[in-house]
Structure 1
Amino acid sequence: MRRVDELREQTVWKSDPHTQVKHLVYRHYLQCWMGKILQTFPEATIVDAFAGPGVYTDGPPGSPIVVAKTFLEHTAYRRFNKLNLVCLEERTDRVEELRRQFAKLSPSPQLNISVQAPGVFAEQQPRLSTLAHRGRAETPVLWLIDPFDLKSAPFSLIRRCLADPRDEVLFTLFTNELHRFCQRENFDKTMTPYFGGTHWQSAVPERRGRREAFATAYQQGLKDQELFTGGFGIKVSNQSARYHLVLATHSEAGLKCWAPVTWKLDHYSGQGASAETAGALSLFDEASVVDRLDVALRAYAGTAQRWETLSSQAARLNHMDKHLRQVLDKLAAQGLAFRVDPVRARTAWPEGCTVRFYAPEDVADEAS
């Protein structure tokens, strides 16, 4: 049976390597998100909008169970406040199976699991938002949106999930389908609502990098909404990404959780992982590509910048403070970056320090 037929006809279907990579991203991001959010706020909510049956025929757990187990097995679990896990699935048979899977977990007074009656996410989103926020706009809500097709999650729906100040979305972007079908007649009627505009057209002329260009265009649409965003490609072996995971958040703190995940799974560029390599979690590669960060820091020539500003710039470019220090070391060796405050410190670039930047011409031989 073809994969598409399995998804359409069967209650439970077999897992695939790409799903496991995606769930690995979920787990790593949730480790950080839970560690920060659930020790800061009295409660928070995760909404799995396309929850599925919670298990695969060959044994691995589905995304709702991945979320619950990440919570229950977290090293900081005993210090956590309340987490509400809200799950929506369209099919009755899958809802019943999901409830059976949750029943196998040990109950926790800190984890409130709510499997909703079968429903379509586009129709149920306003009600779910009210349920998730518990009457408080400040309640952090993380939406996991992993639909089966493009039409189930138009940009307008994603934007509604980001209506409140502590909403975040982790969204599966079908870049392979976009690449394959973008030039079909009348497909623009699907593409434009999916992207929330016609900016997707800029990616069409691309050939080899069209999938990545679609991901970039989608993220630009989020940035235009004054949101912070990160992306990560889920690849098939050494080929182009089958789809991308896109994070959208109101807070730069979300990027601080996102960057370590992407660099952990892709040691070279932090932008995509294959099913073959994602499980090899080694230390971060010291030779990681940091060219964009290098260029960004050089642009500060003639100014002094606080660490907070530099760390923020690194996060926006999907880099960690580790990479920031790496580039600062390089610039310092060239005489282009100096720590001016504090004068004494145990490390070269401590948090809270001030760094002054210079241009190459400032350190040329003829300079006085």
Structure 2
Amino acid sequence: MNNSSFFEEQKEQSLIKARIVEKYFWAWAKVIIPTAKQARHEIAYIDLFAGPGRYKDGSKSTPIKVLETAIADPDMRNMLKTLFNDANSEHTNSLQEAIEAIPGIEQLRYKPEVMNFEVGENIVNDFSRLNFIPTLFFVDPWGYKGLSLELINSVVKNWGCDCLFFFNYNRINMGIGNAAVEDHVNALFGKIRADKLREKLQLLKPEERELTIIEAICEALQEMGGKYVLPFRFKHENGNRTSHHLIFVSKHIKGYEIMKDIMAKESSGENQGVPSFEYNPATSKQPLLFELARPLDELEAMLLDVFAGQIITMEEIYNQHHVGKRYISKNYKAALNSLESQGKIIAEPPSDKRQRRKGEITFANSVKVTFPLKP
């Protein structure tokens, strides 16, 4: 599939990706706007690989949906600045036409800006010199050209700025050992880490390669200052191989928690109530493959080990433990309820004095948990 044919129809993966971006844009804006108002700031949405306004089957692209969201909200209509870019002039012409055709587009205080340039060192240098207003930055390159740590950091360095980028795992995996694209890979991981990665990957199995590559990009982003990094995996239609990862980067725990909840709900499957943080078309076709692990049991064991000898609330347990793990709040409550029913922890108030909701005993954030000492 080439770049132009990609836009002929909106694949299911693209729908999921777009939905995650749209949901986070709305939630992010609603958190940021009250503070931005006090500081007399605007907010912004930037997409450097925007594509055309519509797919050839007529479905709307992410830029159009973002603008429609803004038009529907009084604060966003007044505060949102948008920049859409694509190196393909056919895409930018199509996007400009689609934007002008949006009902109510004239209600936006700031006219959407559509640009046509190649993303490279020049834009990184320009962005690095700027102090950005709160910005949601979306980077969805066709492959990896133009995507770099410096590009992401040039925006995320400022307050209220988060980044979502599409990490083309399939192409990057093939390109890591290819001398012809060495500079692009170095820009993405940093040269020292990229060289170590090339050496490390030589003897690894495919599933180990993927884990190692994703860990490397997440570590690079965290070292750069993006403290909270969250990947969401997309599988090919047969469910056997990974195609992409959508990776979220933020400096603030609030953004991380919001995105974690969004990605959890967009996951194609869950096990013991624990979301997979992936979209895999094979999940429903091959259910046995997804029942082998028991992640909630693993969480129970982790909690007994990590918090041994402590008296601590449910909220404190969650805040101290969930970053970097695929568990969400309801998983911690389920695990603690299970541990309590087994007599492995003491909860105050106990289960017989807590409310029931839909037949299940609740576990409020304020419930205090006493963990036993390690044997």
Which range, TM-score by smaller chain?
Answer: 0.7 to 0.9
Amino acid at match of 1:15: Q
**Structure 2 partner of 1:365:** none
**CA deviation vs aligned residue, 1:262-295 (integer Å, no higher than 9, x gap):** 22222324321035779xxxxxx9x983456434
Cα distance, 1:90–1:176 mapped onto 2, change above 3 Å: same
CA contact (8 A) 2:149 2:221 kept: no
The yes-or-no answer on 1:355 pairing with 2:353 is no
**Structure 2 partner of 1:282:** none
1:244 deviation in Å? 0.4
Distance 1:161 1:180 in 2: 28
Distance 2:301 2:182 in 1: 36
Cα distance, 1:186–1:116 mapped onto 2, change above 3 Å: closer
Amino acid at match of 2:253: E
SS at match of 1:41: helix
Cα distance, 1:156–1:265 mapped onto 2, change above 3 Å: same
**Structure 2 partner of 1:231:** 231
The yes-or-no answer on 1:302 pairing with 2:279 is no
1:156 deviation in Å? 2.0
Give TM-score scaled by structure 2 length.
0.78
1:31 deviation in Å? 3.9
**1:128-143 aligned within 5 A:** 133=132, 139-143=133-137
CA contact (8 A) 2:83 2:115 kept: no
**Structure 2 partner of 1:94:** 91
**1:1-368 aligned within 5 A:** 2-4=1-3, 6=5, 13-42=8-37, 43-72=42-71, 77=73, 82-107=79-104, 109=107, 112-122=110-120, 123-125=122-124, 127=126, 133=132, 139-185=133-179, 188-196=182-190, 197-198=193-194, 200-201=197-198, 202-209=200-207, 210-226=209-225, 227-237=227-237, 238-266=239-267, 267-268=269-270, 269-275=275-281, 289-290=295-296, 293-298=299-304, 299-312=306-319, 313-340=321-348, 346=355, 348-359=362-373, 361=375
- State the Cα RMSD in Å: 3.2
Cα distance, 1:151–1:3 mapped onto 2, change above 3 Å: closer
CA contact (8 A) 2:344 2:371 kept: yes
Amino acid at match of 2:368: T
**CA deviation vs aligned residue, 1:269-326 (integer Å, no higher than 9, x gap):** 4321035779xxxxxx9x9834564344221111123444322222441322111111
**Structure 1 partner of 2:358:** none
1:165 deviation in Å? 2.9
Structure 1 stretch 316-325 or stretch 193-202: which is displaced more? 193-202
SS at match of 1:151: coil
**Structure 1 partner of 2:287:** none
CA contact (8 A) 2:233 2:244 kept: yes
Unaligned runs of 5+ in 1: 134-138, 279-284, 362-368
1:128 deviation in Å? 5.6
1:130 deviation in Å? 7.5
Amino acid at match of 1:305: I
Unaligned runs of 5+ in 2: 285-290, 356-360
CA contact (8 A) 2:164 2:248 kept: yes
Cα distance, 1:292–1:88 mapped onto 2, change above 3 Å: farther
CA contact (8 A) 1:255 1:318 kept: no
Distance 2:75 2:129 in 1: 26
1:243 deviation in Å? 0.7
1:68 deviation in Å? 2.0
Distance 1:339 1:69 in 2: 47
CA contact (8 A) 1:230 1:246 kept: yes
Amino acid at match of 1:194: L
Cα distance, 1:184–1:295 mapped onto 2, change above 3 Å: farther
SS at match of 1:224: helix
Amino acid at match of 2:56: T
Distance 2:164 2:301 in 1: 29
CA contact (8 A) 2:22 2:62 kept: no
